[in-house]
Chains A and B, each alone.
Chain A
Amino acid sequence: MGKFNKTGKKGMPELNTSSLPDLIFTMLFFFMIVTTMREVTLKVQFKVPQATELEKLEKKSLVSFIYIGKPMPEFQKKMGTSDRIQLNDKFSESNEVQDYIYQERENMKEEDKPFMTVSLKVDAKTKMGIVQEVKQALRQAYALKINYSATQRQ
């Protein structure tokens, strides 16, 4: 009986992989768009505090970052363990903040300058003294829009 013929070899049909590259490309494009390269290597360690009333930082090109925290373990021998300020790629003092802001502002497009925002990424355990110094320096530099970086608290 031909109907229940078991002689013909069936085997698993081969999976068609011709659309696999397309799938991967789609994912690739997704990650290419959402990716933002980290421009600086962090030399201080910080864990930002938690808060509930957060606003999103828009346009990355308008934002300059200031990091404050304890130096990373590999720098602690040289820099000690007290809180330090990091601007760009190096440790700085609070009196250098003003120059840093001017420099950052120079690099911006003319029409973007009034919207400059400074994001303060500060470790939760930092004492306010150093933050206060930075804030005064920002005031002097007329960088008045600031954003205290924080994570969402559930």
Chain B
Amino acid sequence: MARKKRDVPGINSSSTADIAFMLLIFFLITTSMDTDRGLARRLPPPPESEEQKDDIIIKERNILQVKINKDDNLMVNGEVNFDIRQLKDKAKEFISNPTDDPNMPEKHKKTLPFFGDVMITEKHVISVQNDVGTSYEAYIQVQNELVAAYNELRNELANSQFGKAFAECSDEEKEAIIDYYPQKISEAEPKKYGGK
């Protein structure tokens, strides 16, 4: 007796699309594309003790003071009502000190890979001070301009030295450029000035 060959019935898959659609819609709704961006900053470590606070004396020519008052007005090195659009150029000039101005940060000799012996303004500090009443928006704008100044300087240096943008340099090249223009933005303790 020959047995009849029996076919395995195929599973009806017409509803897979519906199931997949439901999952798809769920993930579509819960998804939030990776849009987290921001200004990266490093805070100074907490002061060890109260006395130690003031023992770092910085020469006046090495410091660029940026103060923001409660009305979001800028004061840069004593110049009141400073326009934020000029801050980047001011900072760039201050950091690089191209003319060796005695009022700008002093230069020190340093040996760097790729560059050899160079004179750089190693000891410069940009001090940002804000009032308690300063708006966060103004604070971020100032920070942004200062970071932009550093980024532009590094980019210019990368272009003249390696002939490419800073972002395209290798890690060693980047490191050398960062040593050339170290980012020194100090976030001083808040002070209350200029009224309440």
Residues of A within 8 A of B (CB): 17, 20-21, 24-25, 27-28, 31-32, 34-38, 48-49, 51-57, 63, 119-120, 122-129, 131-132, 135, 138-140, 142-152
Contacts and interface: CB of A to CB of B under 8 A. Distances in A.
A57 B38 CA distance: 7
Contacts of B132: 127-129, 132
Nearest to B150: A53
B194 to A, nearest CB: 13
Interface of B: 13, 16-17, 20-21, 23-24, 27-28, 30-46, 130-137, 139-141, 143-144, 147-148, 151, 187, 190
A21 B13 contact: yes
Contacts of A34: 31, 33-34
B-side interface mostly? mixed
Contacts of A127: 132-136
B16 A55 contact: no
Contact of B135 (A20, A24, A126): A126
Dominant secondary structure of chain A at its interface with chain B: mixed
A139 B41 CA distance: 12
Contacts, number: 145
B139 to A, nearest CB: 6
Given A24-B21, A32-B27, A125 B136 contact: yes
22 contacts: A17-B17, A21-B13, A21-B16, A24-B17, A31-B24, A34-B31, A35-B31, A35-B32, A36-B31, A37-B30, A48-B38, A49-B137, A57-B36, A119-B36, A120-B38, A128-B135, A128-B136, A131-B139, A132-B132, A139-B44, A144-B43, A150-B39
B43 A51 contact: no
B43 A147 contact: no
B140 A25 contact: no
Contacts of A138: 43
Contacts of A20: 17
